[in-house]
Amino acid sequence: MEIFLIKTLQFMLSISILVLLHEGGHFLFARLFGIRVEKFYLFFDPWFHLFEFKPKKSETTYGLGWLPLGGYCKIAGMIDESFDTDQMKQPAQPWEFRSKPAWQRLLVMIGGVLINFLLALFIYSMLLFTWGDTYIPTKNMTDGMKFNSEAQALGFRDGDILVGTEKGEFKEWGVDMYRDLSKATRADIIRDGKPMSITLPGDLNLLDMLKNKPLFAKQLISSEIDSIIPGGALAKAGVMKGDRIVAFNGKPTNSYNDVENEVGCLSDVLATVETPADSLRVRTTSVVTERDGVRDTATIVLSPELKLGYVPKVPHYEPVTRKYGFFESFPAGVSYGLNVLGGYVDDMKYVFTADGAKSVGGFGTIGSLFPGSWDWYLFWKMTAFLSIILAFMNILPIPALDGGHVLFLLYEMVTRRKPSENFMLYAEYVGFGILILLMVVANLNDILRWLNVM
């Protein structure tokens, strides 16, 4: 429960910062051009609000809504999510949005996206300045990697050390490495101490690489036992620190990765059982350990969570840290942010596939990305990432989003003809419906994953 609360608090704080600054971007440009802002809200307020206030001599009412799905900056003389048609029936006033030149209205509409994008770059820069960039180069992972059958069919072998592709060396283990491999026609590796290359097709499916079980590639972890957890299944069988697991559940194993894969298979079977007796049958299995060439076979009963009760001997690799001066951190932060944006945009093509649609997540998925303990570095890194996503999603040319308004404004600037207010109103309805549908799908996916249906 404590972990859930910490994740929720971080998520709410992050979203509040991003929404306030996004709406603040619209507010800033509106006031710069003398456009009246009638309401400025954090969160939506259908039917009622938590509180609001209006400073003396101010034209703007500020408040806090109860529905944390976004924010609200009601600009006078503009068709937006408020659907205020009564105001639009009145004669246009000089302080209204609709009375201003198209270029000013365009800047008002991109103000939120601009602030979110600049905020992300600033946060990344300050993260590099404050903490530096710490990572483990893949070429330094001298124990190598464990590859699934699809990777081995391409020529990889367990123990190969991934170095890079024709585009250059991998910086570190992560999604960028997988993304480079998916597009590469050549993978550079070290095998048995010798550099060599493997030919790749150049069009691997990134989503498959990341979701298949086992994964396309994982860090290879020895089958040697580093420590035994008292009271666990292996402890009851007399297994000791330093033993190696050479077989599990009747399958030979030469790494912790193999054991992990077999546990995953048992988990799939356990999910289908209906009685305690069936559960006990699935959890009762065999393990073969080896010490100094002598093997010992034991029957063990795994916990309901399928835990063996041991910690594997994980290889230790020294991380590399690069420090940045204050002014040096800005170009590095910009480069980092643009790389994050480029990767996110590139991955969007998978959303339009069946598996990609299932991978879309709602508020539960986003909240789960925050750490279970309060960590300012991870909090700000996640906030910067969400700021990039918010900027990109809002600039999409969908009515009701900033990008939809930008599209119509660009049309007006090119053709010198303004879309009718009725057209804009109906477009807003359609766009709002699309957004609600996407939100329902994303959060339904979260519920189905929570119920283990998907």
Residue 30 scores a pLDDT above 60 = yes
User: Any bridge partners for residue 291, and if so which?
Assistant: 294
Q: What is the pLDDT of residue 288?
A: 93
Q: What is the pLDDT of residue 84?
A: 62
What is the phi/psi pair of residue 433, to 5°? Answer: -65, -40
Look over the chain and give the mean of its residue pLDDT values, rounded to a whole number: 87
Q: What is the pLDDT of residue 399?
A: 80
**Which residues make Cβ contacts (< 8 Å) with residue 453, sequence separation at least 6?**
none
> Which of the residue ranges 96-105, 325-334, 405-414 has the most confident prediction, judged by mean pLDDT?
325-334
**Cα–Cα distance measured from residue 441 to residue 354, given in angstroms and rounded to the nearest whole number:** 13
**Range scoring the smallest mean pLDDT among 28-42, 165-179, 340-354:** 340-354
What is the amino acid identity at position 295? R
User: Any bridge partners for residue 44, and if so which?
Assistant: 67
Q: What is the pLDDT of residue 54?
A: 87
Residue 158 scores a pLDDT above 70 = yes
pLDDT band at 370 (very low <50, low <70, confident <90, very high): confident
Residue 373 scores a pLDDT above 90 = no
Q: Which of these, 177, 186, 193, lies nearest to 343 by C-alpha position?
A: 177
Of residues 79 and 298, more confidently modeled: 298
Q: What is the pLDDT of residue 76?
A: 86
Residue 81 scores a pLDDT above 70 = no
Percent pLDDT > 70 in the chain is 93
- What does the pLDDT average to over 272-285? 88
In the block, tokens 């480069």 appear at: 335
pLDDT band at 125 (very low <50, low <70, confident <90, very high): very high
Region at 316 (left for phi over 0; alpha for psi -120 to 50; beta for the rest): beta
**Cα–Cα distance measured from residue 363 to residue 8, given in angstroms and rounded to the nearest whole number:** 10
What is the amino acid identity at position 318? E
pTM above 0.75, yes or no: yes
Q: What is the pLDDT of residue 361?
A: 67
The CB-side HSE value for 396 (13 A sphere, CA atoms) comes to: 13
- What does the pLDDT average to over 107-128? 95
> Which of the residue ranges 332-346, 366-380, 416-430 has the most confident prediction, judged by mean pLDDT?
332-346
**Range scoring the smallest mean pLDDT among 338-342, 366-370, 390-394:** 366-370
**Cα–Cα distance measured from residue 232 to residue 245, given in angstroms and rounded to the nearest whole number:** 15
Q: What is the pLDDT of residue 87?
A: 67
pLDDT band at 2 (very low <50, low <70, confident <90, very high): confident
Percent pLDDT > 90 in the chain is 49
pLDDT band at 112 (very low <50, low <70, confident <90, very high): very high
Residue 144 scores a pLDDT above 90 = yes
Residue 43 scores a pLDDT above 60 = yes
Residue 186 scores a pLDDT above 80 = yes
- What does the pLDDT average to over 35-53? 86
- What does the pLDDT average to over 416-423? 82
